[in-house]
Copies of this chain bind each other. A is one copy, B any other.
């Protein structure tokens, strides 16, 4: 039960939107006694302390030794070095979870570094992105009613998984379980591929001979369709690199469909086009209904 969760010391590696909101959510629920923060930039840690996100800035080693729960909220390409700094100092009791958007590469990094502590790591992905970042963007209710995908490892004890799920549930999250491979395919399909397409689409418009007029005339449909392209380029590069196999799989599949559609348009197969539009519109409307 979420109500019975008690965390003595929480350590957050990365005290921005994702890590900071996790700490604030657990603090608000009154289940955590002390929050330690780890990060590269002293001013960010100080800001997190002033905002009441953490009680104290510490080293990775101190976090590994003192914490009951560690939440790693690092860029997805930084996990290996984060784990490496923790690995030699982890206590028997500490449990680790994370907030990374990709799981295959994070689990590989964990296996490469954590050794026989691997069972103490329960990978998770909170589906709660934002254009905002940093400690000032963090808030206790970020995860309320948001989906969090937990990807238990075969080395995880049942209790360890339950403990991590209980922490996320205490933040208000809706929990789901997927295996690592399926997780990466699912997020490639519903999150990474749209970002890829929106970004390339905006680039095409920017390079169009009519670019100035295009942007001047662009309206509400353009705004919605391309909104996600504003995300952080560093974060998204890392995500594409980290989730490359699933991305390439999704891209191949989409390119085949795009070619088929282009051929239909070129040869005037308007029935194909209407059929495609109907199937797509009906599925999207159904999703809208199920969601609300």
Is A31 in contact with chain B by the CB < 8 A criterion? no
Contact of A225 among B198, B232, B251, B261 (CB under 8 A): B198
Query: Does A262 contact B266, Cβ atoms closer than 8 Å?
Result: no
User: Which of the residues B127, B224, B247, B251 comes within 8 Å of A228, measured between beta carbons?
Assistant: B224
Contacts of A236 in B (CB 8 A): 277
Known: A221-B191, A274-B234, A277-B237. A197 touches B203 (CB 8 A): no
Q: A157: CB under 8 A from chain B? A: no
B210 and A280 within 8 A (CB)? no
Indicate if A133 sits at the interface (CB-CB under 8 A). Answer: no
Contact among B200, B202, B233, B277 for A233, CB-based, below 8 A: B277
Rounded to whole Å, the gap between the CB of A102 and the closest CB of chain B is 14
> How distant is the Cα of A237 from the Cα of B287 in the complex, in angstroms?
22
Copies in the complex: 2
How far in angstroms is the closest Cβ of chain B from A241?
5
In contact, B194 and A201 (Cβ under 8 angstroms): yes
A257-B200 contact, Cβ under 8 Å, with A147-B217, A217-B127 = yes
Is A290 located at the chain interface by the 8 A CB criterion? yes
Residue of B nearest to A193 (CB): B201
Separation of A62 and B256 alpha carbons in the complex (Å): 51
Q: Are A283 and B219 in contact (CB under 8 A)?
A: no
User: Is the pair B227, A224 in contact by a Cβ cutoff of 8 Å?
Assistant: yes
Q: Judge if A108 is at the interface, Cβ distance under 8 Å.
A: no
Q: Which of chain B's residues has its CB closest to A253's CB? A: B204
A202 to B285, CA, bound (A): 11
Q: How far is the CB of A144 from chain B (nearest CB, A)?
A: 13
Beyond A240-B265, A276-B200, is A194–B281 a contact (Cβ under 8 Å)? Answer: no
Q: Chain A, 232-260, contact with B by CB distance < 8 Å: what is the 0/1 string? A: 11101100110010011011111101110
Q: Can you list 6 contacts pairing A with B, beta carbon distance less than 8 Å? A: A182-B210, A194-B226, A197-B201, A198-B280, A230-B284, A248-B262
